[in-house]
Amino acid sequence: MSILTVENLECRHGLLVAVRGVSFAVKEGETLALVGANGAGKTTLMRTIAGAHKPAAGKVGFDGKDVTAMPAHKRVGLGMALVPEGRRLFPGMTVEENLCVAGAHGRKGVWNLEAVLEAFPQLKVKLKARAGDLSGGQQQATAIGRALMTNPRLLLLDEVSLGLSPLAVDQVYESLRGLMSGGTTIILVEQDLARARAVSNRIACMLEGSIVLEGPAASLTRDDITAAYFGLNRAAEHA
């Protein structure tokens, strides 16, 4: 059964159309990797799914309910959590405070402070450190942990590895594999195609606001994805 459905979604920034007629569904327990160049519409799509951006047209359904007009905080209550690009932590608060403030407003479930520290052991020694003083990898782990504290059924991860060192990316992805194997439903925006293919069940590639390629990760080659990423298929059609 699909936990998320997106139907003919159109999103604007003023006169600019950032997302054009996008439709897809995500099954419970599935990981969908969303790829595409900067400006392709990925972040706007993620924010719209989470309720942080109002669509101009189309529908978003979650667990069988039409949530298109539902505000973001109510979607959190249903089990949807966004880890935004840039992480957006409270820099003057400690790691523990960042985690617990989310837990106080989330759903009941298996994720609590102890469970998050088990998933992200690098945070155990940083609990009393201010979030603004952390390394990029530690901040990303805190941001994902904060989202998990709401006990989401759908986790939206925007640009997980952006600006992180290779070692930090490895650590974050090691923790994410545990989430995925545990059945957490994830939509992941990732620029690293190798990582996207390695961890996802399906891949969707966006170009100029539209999904131009979608399919099982195992059946899409790097060349397939790269051609869609740069619009080479579209160029060939018009040649």
Chunked into runs of 10 residues, the chain (239 residues) has average pLDDT values of 96 96 96 94 97 97 97 94 85 94 82 91 94 91 92 92 82 83 90 89 96 95 92 58
Tell the burial category of 105 from Cβ atoms under 10 Å away from its Cβ (0-12, 13-18, 19+): exposed
pLDDT of residue 218: 93
CA–CA gap between residue 160 and residue 85 (Å, rounded):
8
pLDDT of residue 103: 82
Domains annotated for the chain, with CATH where assigned, are 2-237 (3.40.50.300)
Task: Mention every residue, 6+ apart, whose C-beta is less than 8 A from residue 116.
Answer: 99, 123, 145, 148, 149
Tell the burial category of 127 from Cβ atoms under 10 Å away from its Cβ (0-12, 13-18, 19+): middle
Q: Is the pTM of this model over 0.85?
A: yes
Task: Mention every residue, 6+ apart, whose C-beta is less than 8 A from residue 216.
Answer: 201, 202, 203
Q: Please report how many Cα atoms fall inside a 13 Å half-sphere around the Cα of residue 136, on the Cβ side.
A: 14
Task: Mention every residue, 6+ apart, whose C-beta is less than 8 A from residue 135.
Answer: 168
pLDDT of residue 234: 58
Pair of tokens at residue 175: 């923790």
3-state per-residue secondary structure call for 89-136: CCCCCEHHHHHHHHHCCCCCCCCCHHHHHHHCHHHHHHCCCEHHHCCH
pLDDT of residue 180: 83
pLDDT of residue 239: 43
Place of tokens 């006169």: 15
CA–CA gap between residue 106 and residue 111 (Å, rounded):
10
Contact 89, 126 (CB under 8 A): no
